Amino acid sequence: MKKYLSSEEIEPAYPRRVSSKKLDSYAEKLAGWLELEATKSRKQRRNLKQIYTI
């Protein structure tokens, strides 16, 4: 605490954690599906439940 009081820092800076997410391995596939669905007309698009069952 004394270190921060004597320095001019207002808040201590902590290193940002880098952790992998469970969906990282599927990110490219999901992005592709979303891009494909975005190009379809509104009536031809699948909803989230239909995409989930794929």
Examine residue 9 and state whether it is found in any structural domain, yes or no.
no
52 vs 54: CA distance, rounded Å: 6
Please report whether residue 5 resides in a domain.
no
- Our count of domains for the chain comes to 1
pLDDT at 39: 92
Question: Which helix (DSSP H) or strand (DSSP E) does residue 6 occupy?
Answer: helix 2-6
Range of the domain at 50: 23-54
pLDDT digit string, tens, across residues 4-54 = 677 776 777 788 888 888 888 889 998 998 899 889 998 898 887 887 887
